[in-house]
Amino acid sequence: MLLRLSQLLVFGSLASLTCAIVPVTTSENGIQQVIKRVNKNTGSSLYPRATETRDLRTLDGIWNFRRSPPNPLFGYLNGWQEQDLYKTGPVIPMPVPSSFNDVGVDASLRDHLGVVWYDRRFFVPRGWADNQRIWLRFSSVHYNAKVFINGEEVVSHEIGHLPFEVEVTDCVSFNTSNLLTVVIDNTLTRNTIPQENGFDFFNYAGIHRPVYLYSTPQVYVEDIITQTDVQGYTGLVTYNVSYKGGRSDVDCLVELFDKNESKVGSLQACTGVLDIANANLWWPYLMHSNPGYLYTFKVSLIGSDGGLLDTYSEKIGIRVLNWTTKSVYLNGRPLYLRGFGMHEDSDLRGKGWDPVLWVKNFNLIKWVGANAFRTSHYPYAEEIYQMADEEGIMIIGECPSVNAFLYTEELLKKHKQSLTEMIRRDRNHPSVIMWSVANEPQQCGSNKNCDPYYSQIVSHVKDLDRSRAVTFALSDPHDTIGKFMDVISFNRYNGWYAEIGSLAHITQRVKNESTQWHLRYNKPVLMSEYGADTIAGMHNQPEFVFSEDYQVALMSEHFRAFDTLRHEGFFMGEFIWNFADFATKQGLTRVGGNKKGIFTRQRQPKAGAHHLRARYLALAAADAGAPPPPPQHYVADNRPAFHDEL
């Protein structure tokens, strides 16, 4: 067995990986102790779809699961990857997708830090053996993953929240079942993204999003990049299609279809510009009578004989973003963002993808009258962005850098990689209007490494995508890195972490700080977090901390400031923290998690939700030049009572 492990370490191979055995250090997690890899082809940009030339299977369901003993090498040394897990010891059933933490009944599983093992068996359809490539794709595994098929390592990936895939054509059998084993380590260190630094949300782990097995032809569409613009009534779609497969006699047929499936443009070229006359533009919710309008962008690879080699389609929206020192504009109109910070978080599933939950979330977002949210503090599931595209909800896409405090070269490399993978995955979504490169970086007023670090981070993003503004959520009052950003977002908890229980100074403090950031950096400003922990059902009159009444009163003091700032010309949005209550690690200040949500974790409204709804709908009407909406429930007609006997 030791010989077998040494062969794994030295000869485990993937075309896109370079392997080297390295010494164990305190900054490495358990998987990294086994082998250190430089991944040259991480991420996956195209969402897996079945088409005329592609087939698709999901590997979601009940998998086998086991925690590793404290020695992270134990499973490898005992050949767990070479046979079904149940043959080497006890296993428990584990749903995929989900976090593993809340599925069991013991605290040791909930709080586990270290290595865990998953496995299951699967079949490959025999029809896929006919000149097809076979791909295995994980939409998200947190945090560090190694994947084996039939005992052979096929791919590894670091950084949760983002997809990765590998071609497995030569690794699978068509005549019998195949064993799929996944080893995960959720240990965070000073050189992971995020770092282990006490961030205020639970470190859920596991196979969080769908797992797909899919086929493509030998010559296949590898990537699609689109950017859109608007000139008068004409929409412009600039695109680049890349394909692989070792053939040069390939043409690209690109077609664009409207919502009625009518073709509105086409070109026979792998790069080009489609001109769409009288284009239906993508607009946000409550900013237009027809929000979220999407076209279907279809690519077909055609061989020299005229035969269809591969085809792939995705939805795009035609819109243009611009920004100045005072605002961000969409299709020539200034944006005012009414939104939330959020989390991928729910009972039992943890951070596991749940379509029921997210359909409910979007219904509530629209019910409140919001038009935006920030993916605090990591990229969310791809299906969420697809829903946002359809619903006309804008997204500030945030990478997984949270409360960074040490700015090393290794951290910089991983930070850049997380941005590369996120932007490559999400760049074609019209809902994504900004990139957020960090949340509350620490010591940026004092650490000399902070400025050059974030200068390189922002330059990296601009190299990848210049069509969107760049921001970050700051909290350090001595911040110096805002000069690199296009929009200044700031988090501040007046009346909570500062002067808790006092409402007297909130309005003036918010006005002063917003103005100071604009004067310092000459950039648009939005407030990306404010709020107060609130226990659902707790009421106090006069208002008292943790009561629903205090949350409402605190919100109102912020609203006063926002209304003044809206007329100053540089303030562009308000994001309450948080959309819903969410889990955190245990602590004296967290009774059952973070309770700053305007909805409970079960998505039931607190008084603050109704209060925010009245404001957001009024703002939407005001910005559209419409009268304010009536109350949700009838109250009175405001006329005096009638008496005719006199």
| Arithmetic mean of pLDDT, 468-497 | 97
Which phi and psi angles does 529 have, rounded to 5°?
A: -155, 135
pLDDT number for residue 94:
98
pLDDT number for residue 9:
28
> Is the peptide bond preceding residue 605 cis, with omega within 30 degrees of 0?
no
Residues 276 and 348 placed together within one structural domain of the fold? no
The proportion of the chain whose per-residue pLDDT surpasses 90, expressed as a percent, equals 86
- AA identity, residue 495: G
pLDDT tens, 330-380? 999 999 999 999 999 999 999 999 999 999 999 999 999 999 999 999 999
Report how far residue 70's alpha carbon sits from residue 595's, in angstroms, rounded to the nearest whole number: 34
Residues 458 and 523 placed together within one structural domain of the fold? yes
Report how far residue 430's alpha carbon sits from residue 498's, in angstroms, rounded to the nearest whole number: 37
Residues 149 and 264 placed together within one structural domain of the fold? no
pLDDT grade for 247, boundaries at 50, 70 and 90: confident
Of 270, 143, 190, which is closest to residue 27 (Cα–Cα)?
190
Q: Is residue 639 part of a domain?
A: no
Q: Is 440 a catalytic residue?
A: yes
Residues 142 and 288 placed together within one structural domain of the fold? no
Residues 246 and 297 placed together within one structural domain of the fold? yes
pLDDT number for residue 443:
86
Q: Is residue 629 part of a domain?
A: no
Residues 292 and 399 placed together within one structural domain of the fold? no
The alpha carbon torsion through 544, 546, 550, 555 (nearest 10 deg) reads 150
pLDDT at 29 over 70: no
**Burial level of 642, CB count in 10 A (0-12/13-18/19+)?**
exposed
Of 209, 219, 228, 181, which is closest to residue 301 (Cα–Cα)?
219
pLDDT tens, 373-402? 999 999 999 999 999 999 999 999 999 999
Q: Is residue 635 part of a domain?
A: no
Residues 148 and 247 placed together within one structural domain of the fold? no
Residue with more model confidence, 638 or 496: 496
Q: Is residue 575 part of a domain?
A: yes
SS3 state at 390: helix
pLDDT number for residue 197:
72
The residue from 169, 193, 217 where one domain ends is 217
The residue from 217, 247, 269 where one domain ends is 217
Residues 285 and 144 placed together within one structural domain of the fold? no
What's the total number of domains in the chain? 3
Structural domain boundaries, residue 105: 2-217
pLDDT at 77 over 90: yes
The residue from 278, 301, 316 where one domain ends is 316
Report how far residue 148's alpha carbon sits from residue 151's, in angstroms, rounded to the nearest whole number: 6
| Arithmetic mean of pLDDT, 177-196 | 95
pLDDT at 232 over 70: yes
Q: Is residue 255 part of a domain?
A: yes
Residues 154 and 243 placed together within one structural domain of the fold? no
CATH classification of the domain holding 404: 3.20.20.80
The proportion of the chain whose per-residue pLDDT surpasses 70, expressed as a percent, equals 93
Mean predicted lDDT score pLDDT of the chain: 92
Q: Is residue 85 part of a domain?
A: yes
| Arithmetic mean of pLDDT, 602-620 | 97
pLDDT number for residue 631:
85
CATH classification of the domain holding 89: 2.60.120.260
Of 557, 534, 544, which is closest to residue 607 (Cα–Cα)?
534
pLDDT number for residue 226:
98
| Arithmetic mean of pLDDT, 420-434 | 97
Report how far residue 489's alpha carbon sits from residue 558's, in angstroms, rounded to the nearest whole number: 15
Residues 146 and 191 placed together within one structural domain of the fold? yes
Residues 92 and 152 placed together within one structural domain of the fold? yes
Give residues with Cβ within 8 angstroms of 444, minimum separation 6.
450, 451, 454, 474, 476, 478, 479, 480, 481
Is the separation of the CB atoms in 224 and 314 below 8 Å? yes
> pTM above 0.75?
yes
pLDDT at 469 over 80: yes
pLDDT tens, 552-598? 999 999 999 999 999 999 999 999 999 999 999 988 888 899 999 99
pLDDT grade for 30, boundaries at 50, 70 and 90: low
Is the separation of the CB atoms in 545 and 532 below 8 Å? yes
- % helix, strand, coil for the chain, step of 5: 25, 30, 45
pLDDT tens, 499-531? 999 999 999 999 999 999 999 999 999 999 999
Give residues with Cβ within 8 angstroms of 371, minimum separation 6.
284, 285, 286, 287, 337, 338, 339, 392, 393, 394, 620
pLDDT tens, 262-284? 999 999 999 999 999 999 999 99
Residues 581 and 436 placed together within one structural domain of the fold? yes
Which residue intervals of 336-491 are DSSP H helices? 355-368, 382-391, 409-426, 450-464
Q: Is residue 634 part of a domain?
A: no
CATH classification of the domain holding 248: 2.60.40.10
| Arithmetic mean of pLDDT, 101-126 | 96
pLDDT at 35 over 50: no
| Arithmetic mean of pLDDT, 135-143 | 97
pLDDT grade for 43, boundaries at 50, 70 and 90: low
pLDDT number for residue 41:
38
| Arithmetic mean of pLDDT, 619-643 | 89
Q: Is residue 244 part of a domain?
A: yes
Among the listed residues 82, 398, 440, 574, the single catalytic one is: 440
